[in-house]
A and B are shown apart, each in its own frame.
Chain A
Amino acid sequence: MVDLKVKIHELELKNPVTTASGTYGYGEEYIDFMDVNRLAAIFVKGITLENREGNPYPRMAETASGMLNSVGLQNKGVDYFINTIYPRIRNFDTHIIPNVNGSTIEDYVTVSSKLNKVDGIRAIELNISCPNVKAGGMAFGINPRSATEATRAVRDVFKGTLIVKLSPNVTDIALMAKIVADAGADSVSLVNTFLGMAINAETRKPILGTITGGLSGPAIKPIALRMVWDVYRAVKIPVIGMGGIMNATDAIEFILAGSSAIQIGTANYIDPAVSIKILDGIEDYMVRHGVKSVTELIGAMKV
């Protein structure tokens, strides 16, 4: 029997496998395909203060070993989440972790303080890295001062585990991790998508309705892995790694680079049951390598 339990600050996870915000809906979309209760946590679709219709179609472009998206945080607002969606999903035997977004610091604070009052919500992911909104989002996460302000302001109103999701669209992601850790983050998750674009040469038009979008999938994996390693060495708080994880080997690599837990994103689209296969694969790896606790693997790359 191997021990898969990990801790993200005070949040106890039964294993390191979680699903990434925006790729896993609210978990309900996947119940036909897999037992969502086996996941340690579901980072649910990004939530804003008000209803958002998101960006115009087309919102997706397939690229080499990956995809660009420009969904733009389509969701029905925090009140709808709390009153209508959360009661439907709260009985899943997994942590439901809302992903909090805003156009202003006040938005982030209002959403977070509403979630702070919800029984059962033990952690939130502060998204200062969405590349697909005109106001806020990534703008907060690529500027040290606003990243500090947003983290501090939310820290003041949210008492549970505060995970800050970092943007890879910065020169020094380790510095950004240090900044948000100093501002009160209990954990950092990385990476969000890389800002990119795609053009149809025949029509000479952009493929995405918003011209630019966020790149995800195995195309970004080596860069994401390097960033996790950089951040792991720079901060003492636990790191949640993601970026193109397609299988258990990828997940192990992210753990060895310093991730206490991992998020599975784009891979869910290709195989909606992939997260369970990754969980089983991590367990197999541990048995094969005589690893008793998954915590022994965190940052355990041999250098």
Chain B
Amino acid sequence: MKRVEDFTVVDHKWLNYSSFIIELEAPGDLPDIQAGNFAEIGIANSPKVFLRRPFSIYDVNPAANSLSFFVKVVGEGTRLLGETRKGDNLSVIYPLGNSFSKPVSGRVLVVAGGSGIAPFILYGKELHKNGTDITFLFGARSADDIVLTDQFKTLGNVLTITEDGSLGEKGLVTRHSLFSNRKLSFDLIVTCGPEPMMKAVGKISLERDIPCEASLENTMACGFGACLCCIVPTIDGNKCVCTEGPVFNIKDLKW
């Protein structure tokens, strides 16, 4: 069941020049939250930031009744969120959207670009608990943009690639040497990041006949299926990213 509640900022950590983790405490017990779910955060009562902003739920701490969000500053809303302090209150609508498939065995490849890492700590934890083998492949512009790898390393194998070669291999994510392996032996690929990257990952998955799920990010006004603004064309007509996604099997998308 979806809720709208006032959360309190309990922690706020900058990771690099543009990204931070913000931890918010709920007023009571948390509902069940799955990897891939997102929340709509009301940021400011400012004319420029009129609507809420959607963010993937990065992590859940049931003992502390708190949710964490990985945020990259991309505009006025995220900039203001970066200026919040411990003790501030933020209105949160959650949990929203669907979640990734969780194979109980086998091997899963997670491909994330830039802030696309956001849903994958929670996902990694869920899979790790199942004993599923996970490989994380993270791509970004340069080493400064790759963060939190230590956390991901506790959950699986972490590979990196940067456009300038400052960390890991050099190039775009989909040019990683992993993909030159003739036998790409994964049972599922999940991806989140810039759309061209996800499309390229989707193409590889189709060529290699591996199921692939992508978490999309579209401009939305509500986040719960009322405004019909965040649609994505699918083989079954336009669908709301907020309610029928954000996670889609790429075979259902008209990519």
Please list the residues of chain A having a beta carbon within 8 angstroms of any beta carbon in chain B: 22-25, 29-30, 32-33, 45, 53-54, 57-67, 69, 71, 74, 217-218, 266, 268-273
Contact = CB atoms under 8 A, between A and B. Distances in A.
Interface string B1-23: 11110000000000000000000
Interface in B1-52: 1-4, 42, 47-52
Contact of B226 (A60, A65, A218, A268): A268
Among B48, B49, B91, B229, chain A packs the most CB atoms within 10 A around the CB of B229
Contact of B51 (A23, A45, A71, A270): A270
A66 B50 contact: yes
Contacts of A22: 227-228
B219 A69 contact: no
Given A54-B231, A69-B227, A270-B42, A217 B50 contact: yes
Given A33-B4, A60-B220, A272-B222, A65 B50 contact: yes
Interface of B: 1-4, 42, 47-52, 91, 93, 218-222, 224-233, 237-238
14 contacts: A57-B230, A58-B218, A59-B219, A59-B230, A59-B231, A60-B229, A64-B48, A66-B50, A67-B51, A218-B50, A268-B222, A269-B221, A272-B93, A272-B226
Contact of A60 (B2, B93, B221): B221
Given A33-B4, A270-B51, A270-B52, A71 B224 contact: no
Contacts of B227: 22-23, 60, 69, 71, 269
A180 B121 CA distance: 58
Given A59-B219, A59-B228, A268-B226, 20 more contacts: A25-B226, A33-B3, A53-B237, A57-B219, A57-B230, A57-B231, A57-B232, A58-B229, A60-B221, A60-B230, A62-B50, A63-B50, A64-B50, A67-B50, A69-B221, A69-B227, A71-B229, A266-B221, A269-B221, A271-B4
A71 B228 contact: yes
Contacts of B218: 57-58
Nearest to A272: B4
A25 B225 CA distance: 7
Contact of A69 (B1, B47, B229): B229
A271 B50 contact: no
A268 B1 CA distance: 18
A60 B224 contact: no
A189 B188 CA distance: 52
Given A32-B3, A54-B238, A57-B232, A270 B50 contact: yes
Given A57-B231, A59-B231, A74-B238, A64 B226 contact: no
Contacts of B3: 32-33
A60 B230 CA distance: 8
A125 B19 CA distance: 47
A57 B238 CA distance: 10
Nearest to A207: B219
A217 B221 CA distance: 12
A58 B238 CA distance: 12
B219 A64 contact: no
A23 B226 contact: yes
B41 to A, nearest CB: 11
Among B47, B49, B221, B222, chain A packs the most CB atoms within 10 A around the CB of B221
A58 B232 CA distance: 9
A273 B226 CA distance: 13
Contacts of A54: 228, 231, 238
A269 B232 contact: no
Contacts of B228: 22, 45, 54, 59, 71, 74
Contact of A29 (B4, B52, B225): B225
A65 B48 CA distance: 6
Contact of A32 (B1, B48, B52): B1
Contacts of B2: 32-33
Contacts of A24: 226
B1 A269 contact: no
A240 B87 CA distance: 41
A273 B219 CA distance: 22
